[in-house]
Structure 1
Amino acid sequence: MEKKNQQILHVVSVFVILTLIFTAISQCSVAQTLTSVSGIVKDTTNAAVPGAVVKLFTGIDSTSTVTNTNGSFSFSIVKSRQFKLRIIALGYQSYSNSFVVSQTGPSFSVGTVMLKTSSTLLNTVNIVDVNPVKLKEDTVEFNANAYKVRQGAPVEDMLKKLPGVDVDKSGNVTSQGKTITKVRVNGKDFFGGDVKTATQNLPAELVQNIQVIDDYGDQANLTGIKSGDPEKVLNINIRPDKNYGYFGQATAGEGGDAQQGVLKKGEDNRYVASANLFSFNGDRQIAALANFNNTNTSLFSFGSGGPRGGGPGGPPPGAGSSSNTNGITTARSIGLNYRDQWGKKVTVYGNYSFADNTTNTISSSIQTNNSLTSPSVNNVSNNQTDGKTNHRFNFNLEYKIDTINYLKITPNLTYAGVNTDQTQSSNLTRNGSVLTNYNLNSTLNSTSPNYGGTVLYNHRFNSHGRNFSISASGGSTWLTQTQNPVYNYLAGIATAPANQLISTDVKLDSVGTTLSYIEPLSKRSYLEATYAYKYSKTTSDKETDTLTANGNRNRYNLLSNDFYYTFVTNRFGLNYRFIEKKYNYSFGVSAQPATLIGHSVTTGLDTRNTTYNFAPFARMVYNFSRNQSFVLNYNGSNNQPTYSELQPVIDFSSASYPIQGNPYLKPEFNNVLSLRYNKFSFETGNVFFSNLSFTQTNNKIVANSITYPSVYTPNSKLAGTILTQYLNAAGFYSATGSYMWAKPWEKRKYTLFLNGNVTYNNNISYISNVSAVDYAMRSEKNIAKNLILTQGARFRADITDVIDAEANASYSLTKTDNSLSTNNINNNFRTITLGVSGKNYFFKDWTLSYDFSKVIYQGYQGATNPNILNAYVERRFLKQNVGTLRLSAFDLFNQNTGFTTTQTGSYITQSESNRLGRYFLLSFTLRLQKFAGKRPFGSPGDGPGGMRGPGGFGGPPPAAGG
């Protein structure tokens, strides 16, 4: 019994001891664990610092967060009561401190941490968690550190990761649904603002941040009062440690097209040769670019470059991206960009660009023409070769005379030359019967020099806010053109003369000035008086001769024209502006008289139209916080008619679709209202952008399509044709809405994007028929309600030096409902696009790139659903990886074609064009770079001045992408 009692006592003792041990462990755990650690980060002015990176260290473990809009931060479940905090924020000195929490309780506050501003940039600090987005009044700024790309990649690769920014396969950049029209580097135009020249050639590793700006012009930037329709501008700021050094890259490659699995040489050779050199020496920056290829790679964008032809070939086919440009282009381009500081007061920057491109485009189209009684269908096949030569020179001189006076002078000079050879077959049918069937051979030669300049002067008075500025501009543009269309009529009616020689000489002279005076009413309110004047004069001498079989020339007076017109606008405005910390607003009113005077020497016709418009102006900016803003804009403006819309003589350069202007047209007046709401979350990194705009136009210039019978004796040349004339009409309006939402996680390793756009156009046109019995004309107004709807989704995975990939899907709908019967014409087109693209990095120096897209066309007549697959594999080698060898394959399924649709109240057109198909290319790229204080060549681990990755300066080889 005693032994049993001892055993029981022993068990109880063990139980008590174990209970005490577990209790002690539990108490120790409670003593070592905190449920939360919190604090507030402010600067020395007691203002909150949102977006600061806060790291908490406990032994070898660490965790991080960012401060919210109030500067607050919090950590939960801290494993030890001994920890260290480190706080980093751009523009402030870093903070570091250790804490030992002796007080009891589950939570602990470090209180308010004050950060001091920093006057130097710590380039060696690697910030893992950064504030990726900053929202300002008219600027969205993206921190390059938050959107990592493999070293050597071009800026274009970084743009593809930015929320709200889209880059299509042609390299065109849009932001929040609007096209980026100009690019700047460190706030100054780069190659005249040519967007793709910068985004496809500047290396992303140089970038400190990228800004998307709503730019209202130099004068508005000086005065602060912004009205009118802003231009979407991309500004790329270079890292300060990259402002001393040079970058160089040269690429050479050759390959061939592949048909039925056989690599073909000779005429089907593909080649590329390019070189880029960038030199930075503080304020002096020099860039030289050259590119020669036949892979649809265009170094510069000069516009359309000629009648009916496409652009000069488009951008590089991309890193695993087929050319998305119609036709096949051989391109030869060189350019030079220069920027420097001449003394302390003068800044200069300018560029010269040259391109000599040849593009062959083979296309076919089906155009269905609406009619009150008898619609027609036109089937056209076209083969056209355009040789285009372009020169562009831009220069800017900014002179800061003193602290109150500023002068900017901007001269520019451009030249465009086009030589076109065209063969075309056209078959126009009505009710199953052929109206006109012909073959066309045409040549066209044109030259168009243009020169002009702008002078801007600003004076800031000593009184607070009082300011005067004046801007003056002027220039001249010539167009000298000779065209020889030769028609071979096969069936139906012969409309235009069989052999024409059309000589056109057009000159446009314009001058204008804008004045602004601002008077402060208080510390926060200002009154602005403005005046703007613009005068333009267009003269055109068009001579049309018919050529006989033996070469004799006969003047054709009915198709010749000597016409000129002047357009004068005056704008008087009075605006009020009020500025507060969280909001500012401006409103005002302007009176805009406009006069259009025309005279035809050929017909003796004189015209004069005068209009008066009163337009209110309003702008409001409300900043809910540093990461949430709302902007409202309204403005009104005149829009003058074009020459072709005014000149009264019939243009028969297109046999089936002649054009005749209306000299009695009035200028359009546009009322534009736009709303923008942006929000960024510091805590989650979510980004939301939205835009809404509405445009209503008075005196909208619209087309009047007149269908003539097959027999029309008053003017036999019009028989069987569809003549386009122009009228002013009421009732036009357009509404557009767009949104973009992005959600990142795992420190932006993964991001989901959703974006959508909807546009509704209430288009106005007139459809007329001429009776075959009494030749009386019957006209009716047609309202074409056009809906364009697009919805897309993307998912990105970005793990530096491992994978950079994206899966995407989009659906678009284009639908038009006409108030007049369209006789069962299909007006509903849909496109579904599915794709995946990316780069995988393996074995340290190998890269595999791929880009696959599947396009499904619905509603297009005869359209195929192409599968486009592009890929390349490359290997870095040589000392410190300065060389790259790449094998590229483009359009492996050989299905790259282009389908488009155009819908108006008068017609619906479906078009198909050739594009560069399957080919292979082997290329070699050599890259060199050196920065001050860094080694001439870099390698992994070299730091900011080193080189790692396949891209180098200028990105991947142009023929294989970028």
Structure 2
Amino acid sequence: MEIYAQSGSVAATVIDASTREGVPGAVVEFAPADPAAQKRYFTTGYKGRVEATVPYGTYKVSVSFLGYETLEKELKLSVAKKSLGTLELAPSSTEIEAVVKEVKSMRTSQKGDTVSYNAGAFKVTADADVEGLLKKMPGITITDGEVEAQGETVKKVFVDGKEFFGEDVTSAIKSLPAQAVDKVEVYDKLSDAAEFSGMDDGEGYKAINIVTKPNMRQGQFGKLYAGYGYQPETEGTTSNHKYNVGGNVNLFHGSSRVSVIGLFNNVNQQNFSFEDILGVSGGSGGRGGVGALMVRPQSGVASVNSFGVNYSDSWGKTGRQDKVTLQASYFFNRTTTKNYSTIDKWYETPSPIDTLHTDGYSNNTNGNHRLNARLEWRISENQSLMSRTGLSFQSYDPYSTTYGHQWGESGLRVVDNFSDGDRTGVNLNQYLSYRTKLGKDGRTLTLDGSVRYRNNRGDTDSYSNQARGIDPDLIVVPTDTLLLRYQRAHSPSFSYNLRGDVTYTEPVSQYAQLSLQYRVAYNYQESDKKVYVTPDDRFETAGVEPDPSLSQSSNTGYLTHRIGPGFRIVKGKNRFVANVSYQRAQLTGEVLSATKVMGAGDDAKTSHGFNNLTYFLMGQLNINKENSIRLFINSSTDNPGIGELQNVYDISNAQSISKGNPHLRPSYSNNVRFHYVNSNVEKGRTFMWMFSMQNTSNYITSSMAYDVEVEVPTGEVDGGGDPVTETYNPHTYSTYTNMDGYWNLRTHLSYGLPVSFLKSNLNVMAGVNYTLTPTLVARKATDGSVYLNNGEIVGGERNDASRLSYDFRAVLGSNISENVDFTLSWHGAYNIAKNSLVVNDSDNKNRYFNHVATAAMKFVFLKSFTFTGNVSYQQNIGFTNDYDNSYVLCNVYLGKKVFRNRRGEVMFGVNDLFDQNTAFSRTTGSGYTQNSINSVIGRYYTVQFVYNLRNFGKRGSKDIKDYDGMGALGGNRRGVGRPPMGPPPGGRGPMF
């Protein structure tokens, strides 16, 4: 039985009558002959296609779109399927302003899992980019360049269905002007293989598709800017002289599109994403294998030089589809970040009750070349070949010094650390997919193969104080409290991953399909770490052998086989997918030691096998045109990385020693995600609810001991043949272990509606996030019940560190006119952190609250004068550790539109008017709370010039007027409602 009883499907394609191009984003209204019956609305998709399901009956069909005459047709529907063919929209012969008023209530629409936002319903000023537009849309938030939609991180941005700047979401949303956007679509993107086979494999992600206006797909447009500023007083992390030069240019010519972006500044503005590409950050690596280089902008003040280009085109036709399509992007950035930091850290039960205060300085330089390309060749109607390539080269040169004291139950310690590194890495990803249809609809064969290769090199010079703690009651600190240990580390590593998939699908009924998939994968990691203990800070290694207790060559390999069936049923617009697989993973590893260490002189080999059942369930229910539900339930495994498996000590910081664990097992996670979306088209209201849950067994976590003696073998033996060890007394010693009981639960609500009497849009978002992370914690015991056995902690207790966070956000965005743009927002979060080993409930809760209120505005008055302002108040309150940190950041600019068409603007202003900017952050963990303050840019004065490039071809310019103070497209003008130069609250991130 069909979900919609006595309903039929109506299909049509809406095109421009003059250009013959499809018109996506047009509003199609079905008005029943019965005036009491409810009207139904739909929007056209890619290339102007639309498919609507409506009850049998007689309708008046109206098709409207900005800049076109409304098209009306009569329809009598009495069959299951009916085609209206091609519907031609003629350019409007009336004032476009009237059309704008006619469709402005259409804020959102919904089709399946796709929520579509009508860009014309969210007004911004003339020179805004897509980021400024997204911030006003319900369910979308942007923080430090990371875009989140419906409670999930957006992984990719598409423009008219084509990838835009690969996985660099931040560059993508800053590279297009809001004026060119017709519609923004938020949806769950399937993997390439799943899109072809129709069998969701659980490897999809949240994506945004930006649909451009048809009359702006032929020409050149963008924004160029240059600014100079002067800061009278600086703290040494930046120059008194400020500069900011950059912009973006888009060259669109039909299917051929080139976008170029550039940015050069020393005001902490960053318009790109740091990707987790290499693993050259040093240390023992992080979760996921070889660590992460820089996945987010660092604390401090950055000087940035970046350049990027994106290209897409298509050639030929195979049936109704492009024969060959290409999307490629290249990006380069070089960032130097300087930072003076102050850290106050309180160690709490279950750790010794200590206080740590340090002052530090860092100067880190990061360089990155990144190339992404996607090439698809549609060989025939039934065959296609797709290639995806990613290549990157990255260099990272970190320099840091830290000095301070720690005092309390563990005594008095002097912290004196230094590190200077030089790291490089190459990363190559290649994916190929061959897909073919085998005659019968639904019968397909997909062959996928991928290769991932990483090659990293790291050299680090460092020293740290290894002296024991002293009596904190001493009035004078002894002069011998420093015992510096100097090290030079050389740690090359490489890894590769080979994977092959075969997927076959077979239809079993009109609505159902079966599949069978087999996957084989091999993941190999190799590391050759050599650490030299040198006599002084010259770090000379001539005649010095690697310290065998700190050095190790090792390799690991995971061979995984996975096979299992799948089932898919699609009826109407509802679907259900289920996959289950048996997985066999075989771990092989080898540790190579040149010298006997702790009695293990031979090559140590290991081999373990792991058996798992993995599953994936997905259900989508479209209740009606306004309500939809999506549910995901799946499991996954995660292998430990080479850094976590290496059985060597890391004493680069002698007060915090760590070591890997070669006995780690893969973790196993169960995941649930639920989405409910309601879009009330007539009233312009949108409601979204998201819930997610993750539970992990064999979770790879920290095992930590406080104030225990660490016996590190030197690699030498005494006269009796026993290994000689050196004793350390660090504040913390940590390794890795597997523990059950990791939980992460999150729920997120979003509600958006127009506020008519204010001519604005109000978006309200609220959420609750709960994380429970198990750790093993041990403190030195006088009875000897806590000790180390060959690096493993014996006698520790389980501590569940939990964090509960309640957050609320409200955003009021103006929709008054193109000359009045403002956004008012408030975001607050109340946090509670607990440790299960703390028995006293009053001491167990660490409660703190932070909130920020922001007002961003841009006004155009007297036709050509502008006022741009951004003011924010941020407050951080600690209830358990009593503190109150707050500041006001205010940026103001006065400007004048210049040139006959007013595409240029000259602005004068001041950044951080009250000179109160600070960068405060609070973090909590198992047994500690930390407050940190980092460098920011303070008050400076600036002058800036901005030019908006608008040059459209014959097809693209017929409905576009020059800028005359009323904006383009009959007043649908968009621009930036925030200061054009300078950092936002916290001193980081872009302001353009």
TM-score, normalised with respect to structure 1: 0.84
Q: Give the drift of 1:900.
A: 2.5
Q: Which of 176, 179, 199 matches 1:202?
A: 176
Q: Secondary structure at the match of 2:649?
A: coil
CA contact (8 A) 2:417 2:462 kept: yes
Deviations 1:404-428 (A, max 9, x none): 1011111221011011221111423
Deviations 1:63-118 (A, max 9, x none): x99964499xxxxxxxxxxxxx99444699835699xxxxxxxxxxx999x99565
Q: Secondary structure at the match of 2:193?
A: helix
Tell me if 1:786 matches 2:826. no
Partner of 1:927: 948
Q: Matched residues in 1 for 2:775 and 2:635: separation?
A: 23
RMSD over aligned Cα, in angstroms? 3.7
CA contact (8 A) 1:695 1:735 kept: yes
Q: Matched residues in 1 for 2:606 and 2:129: separation?
A: 54
Q: Secondary structure at the match of 2:239?
A: helix
Partner of 1:427: 405
Q: Matched residues in 1 for 2:972 and 2:102: separation?
A: 22
Partner of 2:47: none
Partner of 2:392: 414
Deviations 1:812-859 (A, max 9, x none): 122122210288476212112223222222112222222222122111
Q: Give the drift of 1:956.
A: 5.5
Q: Matched residues in 1 for 2:586 and 2:77: separation?
A: 68
CA contact (8 A) 2:699 2:739 kept: yes
Q: Give the drift of 1:887.
A: 1.9
Q: Matched residues in 1 for 2:236 and 2:559: separation?
A: 59
Q: Which of 231, 236, 239 matches 2:213?
A: 239
Partner of 1:94: 70
Q: Matched residues in 1 for 2:183 and 2:349: separation?
A: 54
Tell me if 1:764 matches 2:738. no
1:868 counterpart letter in structure 2:
L
Partner of 1:454: 431
Q: Matched residues in 1 for 2:496 and 2:83: separation?
A: 58
Q: Give the drift of 1:682.
A: 2.1
Partner of 2:166: 192
Q: Which moved further from structure 2: 676-685 or 940-949?
A: 940-949
Partner of 2:835: 818
Q: Matched residues in 2 for 1:149 and 1:46: separation?
A: 32
1:791 counterpart letter in structure 2:
F
Distance 1:886 1:491, change over 3 A: farther
Distance 1:731 1:276, change over 3 A: closer
Distance 1:717 1:343, change over 3 A: farther
Tell me if 1:940 matches 2:925. no
Partner of 1:81: none
Q: Secondary structure at the match of 2:271?
A: coil
Q: Matched residues in 2 for 1:244 and 1:535: separation?
A: 47
Partner of 2:677: 678
1:650 counterpart letter in structure 2:
Y
Q: Secondary structure at the match of 1:181?
A: strand
- 1:541-580 superposed matches below 5 A: 541-549=528-536, 551=540, 553-580=544-571
CA contact (8 A) 2:69 2:89 kept: no
CA contact (8 A) 2:127 2:177 kept: yes
Q: Matched residues in 2 for 1:265 and 1:695: separation?
A: 42
Tell me if 1:152 matches 2:171. no
Distance 1:422 1:149, change over 3 A: same
Q: Secondary structure at the match of 1:233?
A: strand
Partner of 2:876: 857
Q: Give the drift of 1:954.
A: 14
Q: Matched residues in 2 for 1:594 and 1:655: separation?
A: 37
Partner of 1:281: 253
Q: Which of 351, 358, 376 matches 1:380?
A: 358
CA contact (8 A) 1:770 1:778 kept: no
Partner of 1:844: 863
Partner of 2:367: 389
Count of aligned residue pairs for this structure pair: 875
Q: Give the drift of 1:911.
A: 2.4
Q: Which moved further from structure 2: 879-888 or 513-522?
A: 879-888
Deviations 1:906-929 (A, max 9, x none): 433332222222222211123332
- Give the gaps of 5 or more residues in structure 1: 1-40, 56-63, 72-84, 99-109, 316-324
Q: Matched residues in 1 for 2:977 and 2:756: separation?
A: 29
Q: Matched residues in 1 for 2:449 and 2:166: separation?
A: 20
Tell me if 1:804 matches 2:821. yes
Distance 1:209 1:597, change over 3 A: same
Q: Matched residues in 1 for 2:758 and 2:626: separation?
A: 18
CA contact (8 A) 1:362 1:384 kept: yes
CA contact (8 A) 1:331 1:357 kept: yes
1:614 counterpart letter in structure 2:
L
Partner of 1:77: none
CA contact (8 A) 2:125 2:977 kept: no
Q: Matched residues in 1 for 2:910 and 2:680: separation?
A: 42
Tell me if 1:500 matches 2:507. no
Tell me if 1:583 matches 2:574. yes
Q: Matched residues in 1 for 2:225 and 2:36: separation?
A: 44
Q: Secondary structure at the match of 1:191?
A: coil
CA contact (8 A) 2:265 2:304 kept: yes
Q: Secondary structure at the match of 1:158?
A: helix
Partner of 2:142: 167
Q: Secondary structure at the match of 2:549?
A: helix
Partner of 1:254: 228
Q: Give the drift of 1:204.
A: 0.8
Q: Which of 269, 273, 283 matches 1:297?
A: 269
TM-score, normalised with respect to structure 2: 0.81
Q: Give the drift of 1:660.
A: 1.1
Q: Which moved further from structure 2: 540-549 or 865-874?
A: 865-874
CA contact (8 A) 2:814 2:822 kept: yes
Q: Secondary structure at the match of 1:205?
A: helix
Q: Matched residues in 2 for 1:474 and 1:54: separation?
A: 50
Distance 1:615 1:442, change over 3 A: closer
Tell me if 1:700 matches 2:699. yes
Deviations 1:365-406 (A, max 9, x none): 233445557344333322100111110111111101110101
Q: Which moved further from structure 2: 832-841 or 468-477?
A: 832-841
Q: Give the drift of 1:248.
A: 4.5
Distance 1:448 1:523, change over 3 A: same
Q: Give the drift of 1:300.
A: 2.3
Q: Matched residues in 1 for 2:977 and 2:215: separation?
A: 16
Deviations 1:339-385 (A, max 9, x none): 12233311112111111111102222233445557344333322100
Q: Which of 870, 873, 891 matches 1:870?
A: 891
2:642 counterpart letter in structure 1:
Y
Partner of 1:101: none
Distance 1:68 1:364, change over 3 A: farther
CA contact (8 A) 1:785 1:818 kept: yes
CA contact (8 A) 2:801 2:926 kept: yes
- 1:46-65 superposed matches below 5 A: none
Q: Give the drift of 1:930.
A: 1.3
CA contact (8 A) 1:421 1:442 kept: yes
Q: Secondary structure at the match of 1:663?
A: coil
Partner of 2:414: 437
Q: Identity percentage over the alignment?
A: 24
Q: Matched residues in 2 for 1:288 and 1:747: separation?
A: 41
Q: Which of 226, 229, 243 matches 1:271?
A: 243
Q: Give the drift of 1:945.
A: 7.5
Q: Which of 584, 589, 593 matches 1:598?
A: 589
Distance 1:942 1:855, change over 3 A: closer
Q: Matched residues in 2 for 1:535 and 1:374: separation?
A: 44
